[in-house]
Structure 1
Amino acid sequence: MQAAKHIIAVASGKGGVGKSTTAINLALALQSTGARVGLLDADIYGPSVALMLGVPDGTRPDTRDGKTLVPVTAHGLVSMSMAYLANERTPVVWRGPMAGGALIQMLEQTDWGELDYLLIDMPPGTGDIQLTLSQKAALSGAVIVTTPQDIALLDARKGIEMFRKVNVPVLGVIENMATHTCSECGHTESIFGSDGGERISSEYGVELLASLPLARTIREHTDAGTPVVLSEADSPAAKAYMAAANALIQVLQGKESPQDFPTISISDD
């Protein structure tokens, strides 16, 4: 494995908030800026990246010397997932340490090449895999995905607190399913509540990277393996993912900037 300039965990406190969809479209949005991007599906028990990228069933990665995995390329992204290594109809029945070990093997034994960004689509929650990754990978930080509803925000807070306890910076929050626009009348409303992403970002002093719409086209293109950032690049949804990518780049560049030091003057006094 060659080092990625930035390794970023895309995480959520609970399932069902659109984390994997966000991770894939965010990766493609970063790629559209000219960056070299990889995507690791860290959900050992329920991998979904292969389907969302439109990778054909039964695809298996090549190996080098029987040890190193060659990532699967789709839409220009290099990716690795348990879906490429196990039968999709056979559940992975492993205890936590085994799952964590499999994740580290995929991370460290994949020939990622030279990447600007490696995004890791985390499983939901705050369990063994999250802790293992935080300890073993040199994470630049984490992006927390949530919806505006209170129950999702409660679990998002747990995710933020977990990363802080293991000294992983939280780079920002992405609020998913923030608003829905009726296709018939054009009325826009906040189905799951309003300003949830802004509240939690303000509470923890982190960036609100973007508020994404609840749009049928996002789901349709995700199911078809043709993510909306590629399929409808001029759509409001795709532009929201691009806004998130650009905001993330700005946050990372800010962390790379040298700190301002006071001027030291020496006199003969």
Structure 2
Amino acid sequence: MFIARRTFSTCRTLMHENPLGLPRHKPAPTIPRAQRGLPKKMPIAGVKNVVVVASGKGGVGKSTTAVNIALAAAGMKQRVGILDADIFGPSVPKLMNLKGEPELTETGDRLIPLTNYGVKCMSMGFLVDQDAPVVWRGLMVMKALQQLLHQVDWGQLDLLVIDMPPGTGDVQLTISQQIVVDGAVIISTPQDIALIDAVKGVNMFKKVNVPILGMVQNMSLFICPNCNHESHIFGHDGAARMAEDFNVPLLGQVPLHADICTLSDSGKPIVISQPDSPFSNHYRSITQNMLNRLKEIK
């Protein structure tokens, strides 16, 4: 059994120092501090570009979008990984149809990501039972996140997509301040209540000097699976107007459709299971626009 599960319940001290239970054959990487107390940003070894997919609010389809973006990029011959940074509610294992515990490298100090559909994946969901809650205080969450950031052997990647948890709290600050993030993609529905929090997300990334690659308007309209009638049940073009107000690109729009939801729940994202569908084309267009934007700002 992977050592992480044993440490969760039997060694409180080790949990505070090493919550993922990685063997200490080598000291954990230290994060040098700048004079003003902020950590120096460190690149992730072997990774060319790091893109965070974020939203201020949960329930806007952020994880589904992040996974389909990663899969679309892999279909464009990119070497891609996805890191699930949601410690308390990881979604990537289900979306990517992955189970099991990651193995360790030969040196014993790094985790080897699980792989499906040609994309490397790492998530807290691989390290705890599916129904087990992660009942941790902030310090342990931050230490676990640091290990996920710095003690995973990604190999060589063109793109690492980080699926962020909702909000603008500790996890977002830790990632944006400790690693080199090349850009952020903000997901929102057109609904005003979602846009309020999306604004906070945009402003947070601007505050920590992370470029905004653009916005994605998810659930832009509802398409009836029976008659194909279109209805703007969450409002009309709210995220598009917000992108214009903040002078950032609108990378694309994705309708709300039963196929996207059903296939995501079954671990067969639509980009993989229905590559020729119009919805897969939306994700590929968003991904291409994102990659083009990355080239512009670098």
Equivalent residues, number: 254
For 1:186 and 1:227, the matched residues in 2 are separated by 21
1:12 to 45, 55, 63: 55
Whether the 8 Å contact between 2:218 and 2:254 is mirrored in structure 1 is yes
Query: Residues 166-185 of structure 1 correspond to what in structure 2 (within 5 A)?
Result: 166-185=208-227
Deviations 1:93-112 (A, max 9, x none): 11223212211211211110
TM-align CA RMSD: 1.0
Identity %: 49
- 1:32 and 2:75 correspond: yes
- Shift of residue 253 of structure 1? 1.1
Q: Structure 2 unaligned segments of length 5 or more: list them.
A: 1-43
For 2:209 and 2:297, the matched residues in 1 are separated by 15
Who is 2:260 aligned against? 218
Query: Residues 102-113 of structure 1 correspond to what in structure 2 (within 5 A)?
Result: 102-113=144-155
For 1:162 and 1:98, the matched residues in 2 are separated by 23
Q: Structure 1 unaligned segments of length 5 or more: list them.
A: 257-269
Who is 1:145 aligned against? 187
Who is 1:62 aligned against? 103
For 2:89 and 2:225, the matched residues in 1 are separated by 32
Whether the 8 Å contact between 1:142 and 1:171 is mirrored in structure 2 is yes
For 1:217 and 1:164, the matched residues in 2 are separated by 35
Whether the 8 Å contact between 2:82 and 2:119 is mirrored in structure 1 is yes
For 2:203 and 2:192, the matched residues in 1 are separated by 17
1:42 to 66, 85, 93: 85
Paired AA for residue 47 in structure 1: P
Deviations 1:180-216 (A, max 9, x none): 1222222212110011121110011111001001011
Whether the 8 Å contact between 1:97 and 1:128 is mirrored in structure 2 is no
Paired AA for residue 244 in structure 2: S
For 2:175 and 2:136, the matched residues in 1 are separated by 17
Query: Residues 196-207 of structure 1 correspond to what in structure 2 (within 5 A)?
Result: 196-207=238-249
SS at match of 1:234: coil
